[in-house]
Structure 1
C-alpha cells in the first residue's frame, strides 16, 4: 500500500520528532533533561534507565520514517507513530493528575505530542476506519 502525501507528512514529522528526541536522550541525557529544568546526577543506573527508552524512541522514529519509502512497512510505521504519540500524552496526563503541574517545558512537550497525535489520526483515519475488502472464495483460490 502506497502512502498518501498527507500520510508521508505525518510519518515524516512524527519520525523526525521521535528520532531526534530519542537520539538526544540516548547520547546527551543531561542536556536533554536540563532543557526541562531537570538536573540529572551521575547515577549510572538512572542514566541507563533513561538511555534505553531513548534508544527505543529513536528506533520507532526510524521505523516511522522507513514507512514513507518502504510501502510494506507502512502499517507498522503508522502503528508506531500512533503508539508513541498517543501513549506519551496519556502518560503525561496521568502524571498531571497524579503528580500535579509540571514545568512549562513539559506542558509544551505535551501540547506538541497532542498535535502530532491529532495529525497522525487525521492522516491515517481512512486506513484506520475503512474495512478491508473481503475476497470471494474464487479470489482466495488464486
Structure 2
C-alpha cells in the first residue's frame, strides 16, 4: 500500500531536482551566484557544470515516475536516496579538506542528507523499517 510519507518524499525530491537541475543546465550563473561563486564562462567549465544538472533532472523524472506509479516508488526512492546522499556525503568530505562553505551550502548539505536518508529509510521493506526505528 502506498503511504503519504513516500509520496511526500518523492514529491520533495522531484521538486528539488527539477529546480536545481534546471538552474544548473539553463542558468548556472544564477545558481552559483547565490553562493557567491563567479563562474568562468569557458566551454569546458560550462560543460562540467551543466552535465550533473542533467543527471539531477533525470532523478527528478525518476522521482516523478515513482510518484505516479506505485510499482515504481521503491526504485524511485532508492535512486533519489543515492543521488541526495552522494551529494551530501561529498559536502561532508569537503569540510575537512576545504573548510566551511557558505551557509546556503551548509543548508543544502542538511537537506540532501536528511531527505536522502528519509528516502533510503522509506525504500526499506516495512519489516526492516520497523526494526530500524525500534
TM-score higher than 0.5 here?
A: yes
Partner secondary structure for residue 37 of structure 2:
coil
Once residues 92 and 61 of structure 2 are traced to their aligned partners in structure 1, the CA distance between those partners, rounded to angstroms, is 26
Deviation string for 1:6-61 (max 9, x for gaps)?
A: 11111111111112111111100011100111100211111011101101101111
After superposition, the Cα gap between the structure-2 partners of 1:21 and 1:113, relative to the gap in structure 1 and judged at 3 Å, is same
Shift of 1:121: 3.5
| Residue in structure 1 matched with residue 45 of structure 2 by the alignment | 46
Over alpha carbons, which structure has the higher Rg?
Answer: 1
Q: 1:48 to 1:128 in 2, by over 3 A?
A: farther
Displaced runs of 4 or more, over 6 A = none
Query: What is the CA RMSD across the aligned residues, in angstroms?
Result: 1.8
Gaps of 5+ in 1: 131-142
1-side partners of 2:24 and 2:35: how far apart? Answer: 12
Q: Distance in 2 between matches of 1:20 and 1:122?
A: 24
Q: What's the TM-score, normalizing by structure 2?
A: 0.86
CA deviations 1:72-96 (Å, max 9, x no partner) are 3223211111101111110000011
Gaps of 5+ in 2: 130-134
Superposed CA deviations along residues 65-121 of structure 1, whole A, max 9, x for unmatched, are: 110112332232111111011111100000112111111111111112122123324
Contact 1:3 1:68 in 2 (8 A): no
Instruction: Give TM-score scaled by structure 1 length.
Output: 0.82
Q: Write the distance in 2 (CA, Å) between the matches of 1:3 and 1:47.
A: 40
The count of corresponding residues between Structure 1 and Structure 2 is 129
